[in-house]
């Protein structure tokens, strides 16, 4: 008994102050891929090496629409290896409320050999990767303050994940991230839950269980899709055994990209979802 207390006293407080302080990630961390849209010479090499189709393009009459979909991205950085116009930033808070908000598209005039001659349309500024960090930070601070007296109960469902997302979700209960400091609590039953935190891709064998879990929740209820697979089906996509992202089965309020999203990214997405809930 005394050893236990002694060890705890000796250890002290280890909890991060995130989101009041920035995410604690290293400079080597691979977060959002940043594309230098104006100087991007050719979308094809990056699209070729992308294992999930997160970078795609369609050509029509010497014009090309090139898209980066953070909802499919697994942040492997192979595109950045293949293309000098792309580099991996360490920004990891990428959650959005709209699936479309994770897609960035630019339009190019093409040369005869399929290279980008000039940029015709820029991607909408700040559309992907959620709101600008600063704005989210201010909103969050206001919300967090107002939320502290409240409680949010989360039921987590693995609807087909590889367990990578679960490794990180479990970390939210660790003393480092300690999600309970926000009054947020993981519960054992959907009947006690306000939010369903779902990882994917949704498999055929889990589709019914996911639907039933959702239906067992009392309204109002929130759904947060976690990870590349939860957002879009990820590297598994749609196949004979999967039905794709979480929103193909239940309505989704917030999408958290990542493979897996780190605990900061998860906290960001969960808090974003709660903010919206209060607004409606």
Partner 1 sequence: MNLLPDLRIVLDELTERFGARIEHAHAPQPNELYLHTKLELVGALCSAFYKKYQGRLAGVFAEDARAERDVFFVYYLYALDAAHGFVFVRVPVPSDNPELPSLTNAIHAVNWQEREIQDLFGIKLLGHPNPRRCVLHDDWPEVYPLRKDFDLHTKLPPFTGARHRFREVEGEGVFQVPVGPVHAGIIEPGHFLFSVAGEPVLYLQLRMFYVHKGIEKLFESLPIPHCVRLAESISGDSSFAHATAFCHAIERVAEVEAPPRARALRTLCLELERLYNHVADIGAICTDVAFVTAHMHAMRLKEAVLRVNELLTGNRLLRGMPCLGGVRFDFEDDQMRAAAKLVDDFEKEFKDLVELIRSHSGTRDRLETTGVLKPEVTRNLGIVGIAGRASGFDHDLRRDFPHAFYDQVRFSVPIFTEGDVQRRMVVRREELFQSLGIIRQVLEKLPAGPIQTKIEEVPSDRVALGYVEGWRGEIFHWIHTAPGNRLARCKVKDPSLQNWPALSEAILGNIIPDFPVVNKSFNLSYSGTDR
Task: Give the Å distances, CA to CA, from 74 to 79, 127, 171.
Answer: 11, 19, 20
Angle at 168 between CA 244 and CA 133, to 5 degrees: 85
Task: Give the Å distances, CA to CA, from 18 to 62, 265, 272.
Answer: 47, 11, 14
Identify which of residues 106 and 217 has a Cβ nearer to partner 1 in the complex.
217
At its nearest, how many Å lie between partner 1 and the CB of residue 207? 9
Note the Cα 116 to chain centre separation in Å.
30
Identify which of residues 96 and 156 has a Cβ nearer to partner 1 in the complex.
156
Strands (E), the chain: 33-35, 55-60, 63-69, 86-88, 103-110, 116-121, 152-158, 184-186, 195-199, 202-203, 222-226, 242-244, 254-256
Identify which of residues 119 and 237 has a Cβ nearer to partner 1 in the complex.
237
At its nearest, how many Å lie between partner 1 and the CB of residue 174? 4
Does residue 194 contact residue 154 with C-beta atoms inside 8 Å? Answer: yes
Identify which of residues 201 and 269 has a Cβ nearer to partner 1 in the complex.
201
At its nearest, how many Å lie between partner 1 and the CB of residue 16? 10
At its nearest, how many Å lie between partner 1 and the CB of residue 117? 29
Identify which of residues 120 and 167 has a Cβ nearer to partner 1 in the complex.
167
At its nearest, how many Å lie between partner 1 and the CB of residue 248? 12
Element containing residue 131 per DSSP (H, E): none
Binding site for partner 1 (CB under 8 A): 3-4, 7-8, 11, 14, 24-26, 28-30, 49, 51-52, 74-77, 88, 156-171, 173-176, 186, 188-190, 201, 203-206, 209, 213, 229, 234-236, 238-242, 259-260, 262
């Amino acid at each position: 008994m005394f050893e236990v207390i002694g060890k705890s006293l000796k250890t002290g407080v280890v909890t991060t102050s995130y989101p009041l302080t920035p995410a604690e990630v290293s400079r080597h961390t691979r977060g959002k891929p940043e594309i230098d849209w104006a100087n991007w010479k050719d979308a094809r090499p990056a699209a070729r090496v992308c294992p999930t189709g997160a970078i795609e393009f369609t050509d029509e009459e010497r014009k090309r629409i090139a898209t980066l979909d953070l909802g499919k991205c697994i942040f492997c950085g192979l595109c950045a290896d293949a293309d000098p116009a792309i580099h991996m930033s360490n920004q990891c808070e990428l959650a959005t409320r709209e699936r479309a908000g994770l897609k960035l598209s630019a339009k190019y005039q093409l040369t005869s050999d399929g290279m980008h001659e000039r940029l015709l349309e820029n991607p909408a500024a700040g559309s992907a990767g959620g709101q600008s960090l600063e704005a989210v930070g201010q909103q969050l601070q206001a919300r967090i303050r107002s939320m502290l007296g409240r409680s949010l109960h989360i039921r987590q469902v693995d609807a087909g994940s590889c367990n990578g997302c679960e490794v990180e979700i479990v970390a939210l209960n660790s003393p480092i991230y300690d999600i309970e400091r926000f009054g947020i609590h993981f519960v054992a039953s959907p009947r006690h839950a306000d939010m369903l935190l779902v990882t994917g891709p949704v498999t055929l064998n889990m589709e019914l269980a996911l639907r039933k879990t959702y239906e067992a929740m009392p309204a109002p209820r929130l759904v947060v899709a976690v990870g590349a697979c939860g957002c879009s089906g990820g590297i598994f996509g749609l196949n004979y055994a999967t039905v794709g992202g979480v929103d193909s089965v239940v309505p989704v309020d917030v999408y958290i990209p990542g493979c897996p999203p780190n605990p900061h990214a998860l906290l960001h997405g969960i808090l974003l979802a709660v903010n919206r809930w209060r607004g409606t």
